[in-house]
Amino acid sequence: MINYPRLSLFFVLSIVLHILLLKMIPEYNLDFKNIKPKTVKIEILKQSIKKEKDKTKEKEKPLFSDKRIENLKEKLRKKFNKSDSGNKEVVEVPTMTTEEKVLIPDLNNMQILENRHIEKQDEKPILSELERVKSEIEKTNNDKALINEQQSFAKNDFYEIKSITNLKRKIVYEPPKPNFSLERGTKITLSFKVDKYGKPFDINLLTRSSSNVEKIAIDFVKGLRFDAVDYNKPDVVEITLFFRVK
């Protein structure tokens, strides 16, 4: 168990000893009654910071000393003097046997091949243009032949087909030439459409004449038959009928 009276005794003795020690310190008077606060002046001094040079750095040593550089210069000077005097150094060139072949490109042939390649490239657009012109000429000639053929069968002493959207369509049947009596000759132009089976429809008068002539012309056109086609779009035809007085 802890002995509390002893502890208190030691505590009191410790305080007394500390007080005695403080009194023994020179120029120190411990007066608890007349304790006054004292002001202390503190002065802050700015420390100047200076960059000190590192004195421990050693000077960099040159890669070659002056003596060595002079020796190199002397060697180079002697070497150039030898070459000037005609005492050239002998360089050993490796010998080549006959089996070893060195292929040297023929620059002339290469230039010719390159020019041919360029010419072929230039010829391509020219050839394509020629083919296009040739096809257009052939198409024009074919159209002219068809027109001539169409005019040959579509032109007689009574009628003439002026135009048709499909030049390949031919008249496969025409009605007999009508009988008429007129004091003077005349002509009349009509337009009509032809269906896929070759039958005319939608007949229109482009020029006018007497009612009798107009009726004869319309009836004649209705009796015409063209060859059949495999498309549905109707072809447009323009025809002129000639009523001549004999």
For the cut 90, the answer to whether the pLDDT of residue 169 exceeds it is yes
Residue range 71-86: average pLDDT?
73
Phi, psi of 187 (to 5 degrees): -145, 155
pLDDT value of position 65: 72
Q: What is the mean pLDDT of the chain?
A: 76
User: Is 191:238 a contact under the CB 8 Å cutoff?
Assistant: yes
Within 127-221, strands assigned E span 159-164, 171-173, 186-194, 200-205
Residues with Cβ within 8 Å of 202's Cβ and at least 6 positions away in sequence, in order, are: 192, 193, 234
User: Is 167:146 a contact under the CB 8 Å cutoff?
Assistant: yes
DSSP letter at 123?
H
Q: What is the pTM assigned to this prediction?
A: 0.41
- In 3D space, the residue among 195, 200, 237, 193 whose CA is nearest the CA of residue 220 turns out to be 200
The torsion angle over the Cα atoms of residues 101, 102, 103 and 108, rounded to 10 degrees, is -120
Bridge-based pairing state of the strands 159-164 and 171-173: unpaired
Q: How far apart are CA 174 and CA 154, in angstroms?
A: 10
Q: How many CA atoms lie within 13 A of 101 on its CB side?
A: 4
Residue with tokens 């002026």: 162
Q: Of residues 70 and 203, which shows the higher confidence score?
A: 203
Sheet holding 159-164, edge to edge: 159-164, 235-243, 186-194, 200-205
- 24-64 tens-digit pLDDT: 765 555 565 666 666 777 777 765 555 555 555 555 556 66
Phi, psi of 171 (to 5 degrees): -80, 120
